A and B are shown apart, each in its own frame.
Chain A
């Protein structure tokens, strides 16, 4: 994955992606969709840290996304309408949740780990559902304001998009640094062979917990952005099927590559928007695509790009 050297191919690819990202709001069906894609790209990258790099399948990531969204929403609406404060709140809340859930779940591996995360996510959902005075319950948290950030009038969809683009690129850089650092390498090592990593002397569980918290951090940040984008927080952002969606995005994009899941998010959301204007059976099509991806293209889109175009990403 990381060759260290900045090959010509890589530079061209990265520049092309950046250019596309800058032009994207003008080619996408509508600007708010482009923003939504950025948010889920971030969510998918955060998720990939857990699935692709640490090798842990969590079906409860919606809990962190949702915590981030609700925290930002409540801060913006009820406390003080400040974007930095709200986002700070999001990441603190989701990281805390990540610490607690991670601490309890890491003890188990494989399918049991997945089940625990699912159970916790469901609990969060039901709590949000019942705590109507705080979360709005089934109606969701309505009327979340989107105040300006300094000179930036975020109320404009296009200004908000570029603000998001800047933030997501920043996060992507950080995530890339993380996975290519010794910490990231150790994560991948323990994913491949837990016992060997332990025998070398690494406290594997500690690494996993840190990865969990980091993943929760960025998922919560994505959630905070989502609350700002929608001007409200829907209850089903906490539902386990939302976790399922990000799994689909990560796998279709190509897990373990960070860039892949981001690409997966772009494709899935774009396809959903375009196809659902023609047919009501988008779920059927997405399910089919997903099954095909698992059966045939396990490397995801990145895998296809790598083999067909012989790219060395």
Chain B
């Protein structure tokens, strides 16, 4: 009964009788005096990631730990609110992701969801973010649709996207590796998207695409496509696929001796892939990344050292991205002076910053993409690897204005709240 009074008092002091009014105000004052933080709601942060599916090693616990570390380093509190943290596993299934997002927003009352690997899953979450009017920041998935046709005011995209992967690698490789290209593409929306951007980047630098092979997703035998590619005698072979397909296609390309005459550029390649297949498979291949633990930027050495001490291995760029993102979110809450999603969104839009991950970093208000420079990495030969996880060497940098798509071309019609 008393709490009912409290609630009514908070909202409509005039609606009850005078006696109850007085009592209510007295109780309120008492409450504020006795326990200052008693009625302050905590800020609830959630990570939705893949803990048991194909991205478990890449994202999974690494990203959860990154978020936890970011909260810890921030002090565990912001604006007098305690920060609570939850995480959920969507097993890389889009329907589970949808349900877990509902659970997080509705039941757990999370104020923000981070991460979500797998683009189909992430896109479903953006819809729930709009429905519940809470923030979602995608980190590990790369579809340009987050900031394209499916953009909305509550969704942000942090670490990278397919455009930057394709364009940066395309520009750099065309300038440095060769102008005659062949591509092997995973035959679905993501692959097609990558191909479009790669060939555009290639053309801009005066290169030619000799041919393309569309390969069904998950194919285990790439030999016919590799043979066709070899027949065309390209200088560069671009493998526009990820995960298992990357490993299979590269293994088989090496098997057929393609690497003797052609350089290989990947759309996506992670240290975990190299570890899973063995570094000799990927030696001297190239890929774009938003960050690497060997990058020479302020703050990187300290972060890596702290991470290594705690987890025994260096962070990958999704872990780093999650840490940076959670920290920037908390800073935005501080700037906004409240955890209200709309205020925080306004504090994020147009913000320029430098941290160990993004230097420079800028969150575009037009499409909510965090942009920054992109690094070109070369996978080391086994003989060059001096310590565990020392798989990459940074060979090039592509500035933000070339790496990311022009805001006018993203197709994003950012709505209101």
Contact = CB atoms under 8 A, between A and B. Distances in A.
B305 interface: no
B1 to A, nearest CB: 22
A30 B102 contact: yes
A283 B93 CA distance: 13
Contacts of A82: none
A142 B123 contact: yes
Contacts of A290: none
Contacts of B263: none
Interface residues of A, number: 30
A243 to B, nearest CB: 15
A32 B120 CA distance: 19
A73 to B, nearest CB: 12
B124 A282 contact: no
Interface in A21-67: 29-33, 36
Nearest to A242: B95
Nearest to A272: B96
A90 to B, nearest CB: 17
Given A139-B143, A280-B52, A282-B52, A232 B127 contact: yes
A237 interface: yes
Contact of B98 (A155, A230, A283): A230
A277 interface: yes
Most buried by A among B88, B99, B123: B99
B95 A129 contact: no
A137 interface: yes
Most buried by A among B95, B106, B124: B95
Given A137-B189, A142-B150, A276 B91 contact: yes
Contact of A230 (B91, B99, B190, B217): B99
A193 interface: no
A66 B190 CA distance: 22
A24 to B, nearest CB: 14
A138 B190 contact: yes
B260 interface: no
Given A32-B103, A138-B190, A139-B189, A234 B131 contact: no
A232 B93 contact: no
B128 interface: yes
A231 B127 contact: yes
Contact of B128 (A33, A231, A237): A231
B397 interface: no
A29 B120 contact: no
Interface residues of B, number: 29
B94 interface: yes
B102 A32 contact: yes
A265 interface: no
A235 interface: yes
B165 interface: no
A210 B188 CA distance: 37
A276 B56 CA distance: 14
A132 interface: yes
A91 to B, nearest CB: 21
Interface string A77-103: 000000000000000000000000000
Most buried by B among A31, A138, A143, A155: A138
A157 B103 CA distance: 11
Contacts of A147: none
B8 to A, nearest CB: 24
B102 A142 contact: no
Contacts of A244: none
Nearest to A231: B127
B43 to A, nearest CB: 20
A184 interface: no
Given A33-B103, A139-B189, A157-B106, A232 B91 contact: no
B102 A280 contact: no
Interface in B30-81: 51-52, 56
A30 B188 CA distance: 34
Contacts of A234: 93-95, 98, 120, 124
Given A138-B188, A234-B120, A236-B95, 16 more contacts: A30-B107, A32-B102, A36-B99, A132-B188, A137-B188, A137-B189, A142-B127, A142-B150, A143-B150, A226-B95, A230-B98, A230-B124, A231-B124, A232-B98, A280-B56, A283-B52
Which 3 pairs of residues, A with B, have the shortest CB-CB distance? Answer: A280-B52, A234-B94, A30-B107
Interface of B: 51-52, 56, 88-89, 91, 93-95, 98-99, 102-103, 106-107, 119-120, 123-124, 127-128, 131, 143, 145, 150, 188-190, 217
Interface of A: 29-33, 36, 129, 132, 137-140, 142-143, 155, 157, 226, 230-232, 234-237, 276-277, 280-283
17 contacts: A32-B103, A33-B99, A137-B188, A139-B143, A140-B94, A143-B127, A231-B131, A232-B123, A232-B124, A234-B93, A234-B124, A235-B94, A235-B120, A236-B94, A236-B95, A276-B91, A280-B56
